[in-house]
Amino acid sequence: MPVLAGLLANAGWRRLFAAQVAALVGTGLTTVALALLAYDLAGGDAGRVLGIALALKMVAYVGIAPIAGAYAARLPRKPFLVALDLARAGAVFCLPLVTEVWQIYLLILWLNACSAGFTPTFQATIPEIVPDPAQYSRALSASRLAYDLENLLSPALAAGALMLLSYDALFVANGVGFLASAALILGVGLPGARAGAAGGAWRRTGDGLRAYLAVPELRAVWLLYFAVAAAGALVIVDTVLYVREWLGRGEVAVALAFAASGAGSMLAALALPRWLDRAHERRPMLVGGLLLAVGVAAVAAWQPGFAGLLALWFALGVGLSLVQTPVGRLLTRHSTEADRPALFAAQFALSHACWLAGYPLAGVLASAAGLATAMWVLAAMAAAAAFASWRVWPRADAGG
């Protein structure tokens, strides 16, 4: 695979990538299982339950990620990541025991508080393991592919598993994935604690956010993430309602719809390295934002059958990957090794603040005002975000 060319010779990167795949495939299984659990507990009100649960996920991300990024420079990277993997495994092992909606909310908050510390620290580690710029671009695409396995391979595995097992088994598989991730990270040589970081952790938390917002192209990226959140929330929250309630199809069809979005995202991630070899990140990311705005509007206007839904979910997956895959290159360009964890954490928190807007619109608004209304509001959000990002992003950064 061209994306992996040269990277496989790097033993540290191989283990990190395998750890990411193990954790994310399991997380994708939980995404499907959580939607089905919400439907079992709340029926037609599942969108509200799922929307609130995922909004709590974003609260954890927005509130904890910048603080975790500030502390990450002072903590030994390996035990920090392993401990968070073990805590995440504990959370998902508890999900099969859930009998009340409030228990979903509590466990989702626990799980994602741990992820808020893990993910930006993990992302900031990759450029230290893969310092060559060309190889790092490919490492980012490979990392994006791993995230896409959550949307493609996991739903496909879930569809097969649901033919034989209950969805509770998917939660258990996710727990095993986190344990495998922890074991793999134990075998990687990672940076230790840095004693010389200037200022306290709370000061560095603010410094990371201020440094991010001081860069015009990163401000444009943040705006673009509102389009990502609108389209992503539509897919993640409303797929189960659209497929089960509007189309009257079963659990396997829900998993296939998630897989269609993942397939589009994976295809875009495979194609991006060659595009980025010739162009600045501005062009593919703005094209992705436009595709998200058009795609969400098309869903709202057309309200397609199952085949049309699969096609539009595929297109939204392409747009999601075009926006999200190149972000690491921009963050690395505007950071040093010392402040990189804080800048990645700022990106993580600010981008997920956008999701904090998207999830309630897709879930709570759909429950209160109807799915059609929610889709049109999400379409307006995506369009406004794509246009604002295009206006804010300086053309000079794109090489003219």
- Residue 188: DSSP 8-state: S
Residue 311's nearest CA partner among 290, 286, 294, 323 is 294
Residues contacting 65, CB < 8 A, separation 6+? 116, 117, 119, 120, 345, 348, 349, 352
Amino acid at 351: S
Assigned domain for 400 exists: no
Task: Indicate whether 384 pLDDT > 70.
Answer: yes
Q: Report the pLDDT value the prediction gives residue 137, as an integer from 0 to 100.
A: 64
Assigned domain for 2 exists: no
Assigned domain for 274 exists: yes
What is the DSSP secondary-structure string of 288-348? HHHHHHHHHHHHHHH---HHHHHHHHHHHHHHHHHHHTTHHHHHHHT--TTTHHHHHHHHH
How far is it, in rounded angstroms, from Cα 386 to Cα 393? 11
Judged by average pLDDT, the poorest of 3-12, 236-245, 254-263, 265-274 is 3-12
Task: Indicate whether 202 pLDDT > 60.
Answer: no
Judged by average pLDDT, the poorest of 74-78, 82-86, 246-250 is 74-78
Q: Report the pLDDT value the prediction gives residue 236, as an integer from 0 to 100.
A: 85
Q: Report the pLDDT value the prediction gives residue 150, as an integer from 0 to 100.
A: 58
Q: Report the pLDDT value the prediction gives residue 196, as an integer from 0 to 100.
A: 46
Domain of residue 173, residue span: 9-188+200-394
Assigned domain for 3 exists: no
Quote the number of domains for the chain.
1
How far is it, in rounded angstroms, from Cα 342 to Cα 153? 31
Contact in structure between 151 and 258 (CB atoms under 8 Å): yes
How far is it, in rounded angstroms, from Cα 264 to Cα 137? 20
Assigned domain for 194 exists: no
Task: Indicate whether 400 pLDDT > 50.
Answer: no
Task: Indicate whether 130 pLDDT > 60.
Answer: yes
Task: Indicate whether 136 pLDDT > 80.
Answer: no
Tell me the pLDDT of the chain averaged across its residues.
81
Assigned domain for 295 exists: yes
For the stretch 165-188, pLDDT in tens is 778 888 888 899 899 999 999 888
Contact in structure between 254 and 240 (CB atoms under 8 Å): yes
Assigned domain for 195 exists: no
Looking at residues 58-72, what average pLDDT do you find?
A: 69
Assigned domain for 13 exists: yes
Q: Report the pLDDT value the prediction gives residue 285, as an integer from 0 to 100.
A: 93
Looking at residues 304-308, what average pLDDT do you find?
A: 95
- Which of 256 and 51 is assigned the larger pLDDT? 256
Q: What CATH number should be reported for the domain holding residue 27?
A: 1.20.1250.20
